[in-house]
Amino acid sequence: MSNVNAILAGKTVLVTGASSGIGQSIAIEAARAGADVVVTFRSNRAGADETAALVRQLGRKVTVHALDIADDASLEQFTAALRREGRPIDAWINNAGADILTGSGAKLDRRGKLDLVLAVDVRGTVAASWAAVELMRAQPPGGVILNMSWDHVGHGMAGENPVIYATAKGAVEAFSKSLARDVAPHIRVNVLAPGFIETAFGEGASAEWRTHVERITPLGRWGRPEDVAKAAVYLSSDAAGFVTGQTVKVNGGVVV
């Protein structure tokens, strides 16, 4: 593949929850930047296969794995498969998270929602990060871990879902900052904190809410999954080689 901006050339990027939305966009953007890609999914195999096909169209290698980061056995099987493949993972991006805004998760009561996001977004992210550390410590190049938070965790937002989401994503941010200190200098750890992004939730929002978001956003629009993906590519690359323990908000300036 010819790409003068291939800042991830020669690298392998792993993206959890890459079957749709931000995760799919990160996988595609990483391939566009020259990386081979490892795609994981929990239940949406068709979406993962679509992501893989788009990566291949960009001339990059891709493998697809089922993974439930909230299930220790699933994570162990997955990391064992990575070891058998025998190639370094240069960047491990923990994008997978529980959806309490749409689908079946939105129908849970607040304790059910809390249990779900703690199991997936917090415990799952911690466990997946530890798995990434074990792999990266055994490879000479080291590596990069990116975890996903939320731009409002330090700002606050009223409402049942925001309260639950902030609880989980605030924990992810705190964990990641300490992990960055713990695994330096061999491994870099950073956090991406998206704001209002046009994923399934944004696409299904009312016209009134969409207009409200545009009005409160200094850059005047909703974010797109590729906005987050481009930040992920930068943080995964050697261009960010002196960046660790940081949170990058991708939110058009809503929270600064």
Question: Please, are residues 151 and 255 in contact by the beta-carbon 8 Å criterion?
Answer: yes
Examine the residue annotation and report whether 234 is marked as an active-site residue of this protein.
no
Residue 14 CB-density burial (10 A; 0-12 exposed, 13-18 middle, 19+ buried): buried
| Residue 16 phi, psi (nearest 5) | -80, 150
Label residue 50 exposed, middle or buried (CB < 10 Å: 0-12, 13-18, 19+).
middle
Q: Are 59 and 36 in contact (CB under 8 A)?
A: no
- Whole-angstrom distance, CA of residue 71 vs CA of residue 101: 22
Q: Which of 41, 78, 150, 165 is catalytic?
A: 165
- Please give the backbone phi and psi of residue 101, each rounded to the nearest 5 degrees, phi first: -100, -30
Contacts of 115 (CB under 8 A, 6+ apart): none
Are 195 and 255 within 8 A, CB to CB? yes
Tell me the C-alpha distance between 13 and 37, whole Å.
5
Q: Which residues are known catalytic residues?
A: 165
